[in-house]
Amino acid sequence: MTSPDLPAELKAALDSRLRGFSRNDAAGRSASISKTYRDGGGSSGIRSEADALAYALARMPATYAAVTASLNALTEIRPEFAPGSLLDVGAGPGTATWAAAETFASLQKFALLDANDTLRTLALGLAADSFRLRNVSYERGEARAALAKADAADLVVASYMIGEINDSERRALAELMWQKTRDTLLVVEPGTPAGYARIIALREQLIAKGAHVAAPCPHDGTCPLVEPDWCHFSQRLQRSRAHKQVKGAELPFEDERFAYVALTRVAISSRPSRVLAQPTVSKVEITAKLCTPEGVALTKVPRRAKADYASARRWRWGDAVTEQG
């Protein structure tokens, strides 16, 4: 399993860029970028080097953690998957590229694309300090146009990106991303009802084109969750000193809520159930909400079933699990 915390090389590259920048100024910029996101805006307000750095300091650790958690879930279901090439759509500072590079030693070719030149410059600066990433190619341009020109890749990732475009553009982009996917497409979004709705719509659209779900769902059928319920997960990550300062936060960690889908061209043979919330443990039983190949189940594992109870005690929200009995 890849750690959800930023790799030391990336942390050092970010820290070195922070030298000479006022942390108070970075905190102010990061607060205004966060407010824009909360108000439904996107990354277009990120215009200067200081804005890009503030965004990266405040958000890159969390989006990195969410992408890593999603890739960990994918590799658990498909341990044989060894992509040689990556296409990172709406790459911003290169977060998903770093996460994929950490997860897959097999990756050799990294292609990124994004409309924001400031984030592209930061990404290239950060990657320049990395042995594996210093030769990435990074196309600046609108996603669909840049994607149309891009080579297909074994792994295509869009992390926290599809929420920044409108519904019809998103459908066209999903189709194009799938065309450029040789094996697996991973899409990650914020773990909000709106983020989940975008994931579920893209999932349905691409299953109709022949895609199979590798994770999180144990089936390719319609999502069995009923509103106001929505499928999302949570990843804990450590906050560095700079991260805490930029966010004006005290706690040494944060929990990133995210939604994701990993779609592949190969049929999936392993279909374990997915834990949809943190299980509750009582003296008599463990109760876990599971998405199973047959639908959502509230599974109870009694204490008297000693071996099953012992393994269910290790279940965590987001895990792929096999029920016994």
Ligand X SMILES: C[S@@+](CC[C@H](N)C(=O)[O-])C[C@H]1O[C@@H](n2cnc3c(N)ncnc32)[C@H](O)[C@@H]1O
Contacts with ligand X by CB under 6 A lie at 42-43, 60, 63, 90-93, 95-96, 114-116, 119, 142-143, 159-161, 164-165
Minimum separation from the CB atom of position 253 to ligand X (A): 19
Minimum separation from the CB atom of position 62 to ligand X (A): 9
Could you tell me the end-to-end alpha-carbon distance of the chain, in angstroms, rounded to an integer? 28
Minimum separation from the CB atom of position 302 to ligand X (A): 42
Minimum separation from the CB atom of position 319 to ligand X (A): 23
| Cα 185-190-194 angle, rounded to 5 deg | 100
Q: Backbone phi, then psi, for 234, in 5-degree steps?
A: -140, 135
Residues 318, 216 contacting (CB under 8 angstroms): yes
Give the three-state DSSP class for 120: helix
Q: Is 225 left (phi over 0), alpha (psi -120 to 50) or beta?
A: beta
Write the burial class of residue 24 (CB in 10 Å: 0-12 exposed, 13-18 middle, 19+ buried).
Answer: exposed
Instruction: Report how far Cα 160 is from the mean position of its chain's Cα atoms.
Output: 7
- State the DSSP string of 254-303: EEEEEEEEEEESSPP----EEE-SPPEE-SSEEEEEEEETTEEEEEEEET
Minimum separation from the CB atom of position 237 to ligand X (A): 13
Instruction: Report how far Cα 238 is from the mean position of its chain's Cα atoms.
Output: 17
The smaller minimum CB distance to ligand X, of residues 43 and 70, is found at: 43
The smaller minimum CB distance to ligand X, of residues 146 and 215, is found at: 146
Give the three-state DSSP class for 318: coil
Minimum separation from the CB atom of position 84 to ligand X (A): 21
Q: Backbone phi, then psi, for 15, in 5-degree steps?
A: -60, -40
The smaller minimum CB distance to ligand X, of residues 181 and 299, is found at: 181
The smaller minimum CB distance to ligand X, of residues 20 and 40, is found at: 40
Minimum separation from the CB atom of position 145 to ligand X (A): 8
The smaller minimum CB distance to ligand X, of residues 117 and 151, is found at: 117
Question: Please, where are the H alpha helices in the chain?
Answer: 8-18, 23-38, 49-77, 95-103, 117-128, 143-149, 167-179, 193-207, 241-247, 306-312
Q: Which residue is closest to ligand X by CB?
A: 92
The smaller minimum CB distance to ligand X, of residues 240 and 287, is found at: 240
Minimum separation from the CB atom of position 317 to ligand X (A): 21
Distance, CA of 269 to CA of 148 (rounded, Å):
32
The smaller minimum CB distance to ligand X, of residues 43 and 72, is found at: 43
The smaller minimum CB distance to ligand X, of residues 205 and 287, is found at: 205
